Amino acid sequence: MRLRLRLAALLALSASCAHTDPFTGSSTTLVGPRDPTPPVRLTYSGGRDLTPSWGGVSGGWVYTHQPGTTDDDSCLGVLPAPGGTRLHEKCDATDPTHQWQDVMLDPAESPAGRLAWVETHMAPGRYPPLRSSLRVGSWAPTDTGSPVRTLPYFSPGGTTYSTLHHLTWLGPDTLVAVAATIRYDRPAGCPSCKLDTLLVNPEIVLYDLGPLPVTERPLAGTLGATSVSATEDRTALVFTREGDSRVLQYTLGSADTVGLYDFGTGRRVRDATLMGTRLWAIVDGTPGQSGEDLGGSLTVVDLPSGQETLRLDPDYLYRHPAVAPSGTKAVVEGYQVTPQVDPVSDLWLMDQ
């Protein structure tokens, strides 16, 4: 089972332009998008804006963005709920001369305001990374966070996990994520080709952060997971698997797994989130030139009726919907359909 890794594509990007906020020329934090016409484009970036999630304490959408440094760093930020200039920004503060490529991904903010993210440091264009870790801290710019789990590490079952994605808080000291091994390959017979980065043996893992050291528990029956999120009451997980057209629900405590919704034979589903009785997911889509998953159609299902609402856009494919507590709005990564070797993405606010 092999999955394309967005982290590697981000690390391999060539130098990009600086992120442009929806408003410029003012030191005042402004709330509201540049153009409020739905769907609302929240960011205008020459690189990638990635992995949005809802951050209720910080007051908006938490995400990863590229500030346009010469070494292709990426930082964390928060956008106001309706869009506008960033409320917070957090970049690596340990490399002021930009000798390393410092990547911060998959931020997740707990209900109490704790911030978790995956951080990687590497020589530009070199694999594997020099060091990686799961870190927990705050939005204070000088807070580098505590490395609660270094990467890679050996799981209790003997698997080597070298990256985490889809971080989700389940409680004050409990995180859940998809953990996987990174494998670097080149196409057969092409020693000069760019490394192809794959995710191997992904599965869902629970991390207990307190007291340290961190303990982890892989969840049985989740091998091949492509995404995970939590239900509103944090009593169950919603997840997807490679090659499975269903969205599955794992009940914490009992470990029971049931099918929540089936999109139909041959359909490809990932990035599923349940809010109330509405299920948001990314369905179908085709890989980009490098084989990376560049998204599919944003689909919302009303579970009681089974009615699917498909968001079709001739110019964009979508990934990674982050759903607001109301269940009627989501922010997604948007990728232009036109094939690109080094594709960019911006964030879009969708109403349903």
Give the sheet arrangement for strand 60-65, strand by strand.
Answer: 49-55, 60-65, 75-80, 88-90
Cα separation of 199 and 181, whole Å? 6
Domain architecture of the chain: domains with CATH: 2-351 (2.120.10.30)
Helix (H), strand (E) at residue 8? helix 6-11
What percent of the residues of the chain are helix, what percent strand, and what percent coil, each to the nearest 5? 0, 50, 50
pTM for the predicted model, two decimal places = 0.86
What are the structure tokens assigned to 144, written together?
A: 């580098």
Q: Pairing state of beta strands 174-185 and 75-80?
A: unpaired
pLDDT one-digit tens code per residue, 68-123: 766 678 999 999 999 988 999 998 877 777 777 889 999 999 989 999 999 998 87
Instruction: Supply angle C-alpha 131, 9, 161, rounded to 5.
Output: 45
Query: Tokens 């989740």 map to which residue?
Result: 222
* DSSP state, residue 293: B
Burial (0-12, 13-18, 19+ Cβ within 10 Å), 130: exposed
What are the structure tokens assigned to 97, written together?
A: 């001369």
pLDDT one-digit tens code per residue, 197-227: 677 789 999 999 988 889 999 999 999 999 9
Per-residue pLDDT of the chain (352 residues; tens, 9 = 90+): 333 334 443 333 333 333 334 333 334 456 666 776 778 899 987 778 999 999 978 889 999 998 876 667 899 999 999 998 899 999 887 777 777 788 999 999 998 999 999 999 887 666 667 789 999 999 998 899 999 999 999 887 888 899 999 999 999 999 999 999 887 776 667 766 666 667 778 999 999 998 888 999 999 999 999 999 999 999 999 999 999 999 999 999 999 999 999 999 999 999 999 999 999 999 998 665 555 687 899 999 999 999 999 887 878 899 999 999 988 899 999 988 775 556 788 999 998 7
